[in-house]
Chains A and B, each alone.
Chain A
């Protein structure tokens, strides 16, 4: 690839600009769908963008005991991690870069925002932030293990650790979803936990810990945090579409971008519906769910994959 096309892929599509636009668009669709399911109207299309711009312009206040350097660095680290992960996740078959093993790198990069989130609570000094940070770490241990285990399924099934190659293999054989439906469900639940969406928004439960680790953040830092969360949603959904739903492949000759977009929107719809249908779990109920139900199911799924493949 020439320098121009590489720069284009890095910066525009499927790089940073595309991720930014997709993040805001997905947030809008999510909020609109949730509103409609709850009998409300929902925000207009420019609302996420307006929120972002407004937050960038607001005053930045931190409590006196908080570590200023860390508070400024953490959202940037989280955003950088998510954007870098997004580079390796192909959009409609095209990734900015790929190599054997990039699935592992993407999973690692996607876990960095969770750790940054916890640290953000820790350095913020306030009671709510610390409690939220503790909860986010507890939650991390409950969903991350089944999530990772579920995502090794497609890799074993396709015989490769590169996401682009996983998509290629699925276009030649069949979608991983049909072979590992349980794995897909586990990955969805794990994604809900990772994104801290309802019903697993325990670390930032508004009625209990105000806003969790982000309680004391404001202005630009908070804008970056929100952008990180939105981009994490996009990258997570794209990851699931690529590993389980066959990426751009459909069988019939439809434009790949169209197919990919439809699949991504269907996954987003599933996430929004899950937000609406359930009450928030308690952290001990989540730990219970994670370790007593999800992990054994994930083990069953992996055992089945290994047995069927071998």
Chain B
């Protein structure tokens, strides 16, 4: 996997963006992109460079916005970082390019309430069918009380 070639292709494809590549342990490189360019970037990776292995899609709540990571791997790790605002957590799906992303996007959707446009089936993957509590990985999530149960957050703070 040639990181410089990939960076160059991205720079050619998105001339208006100022793209940099940073490195993370362990053997990982990160390129930050705005949310609307992610699909095109993944298309370049898949079609031009033949990088098909998406390890996972990580989502996290960063207090000001939501952040998504698309972790790719082919010999070395390459991650695409993008952020989504709280009031519009919508991003186009990449399952048309990489069908393996189906479960990862479903998980991010149910855990962080992000909508992936064009995904065939965004039902909850791990949460129960009758889950009413909200997105568990959001900062403002409170564990719904269970009759006679343990308040997990209070226990942890204690």
Q: Do chains A and B touch in the complex (CB under 8 A)?
A: no
Residues in A lying within 8 Å of B, measured CB to CB: none
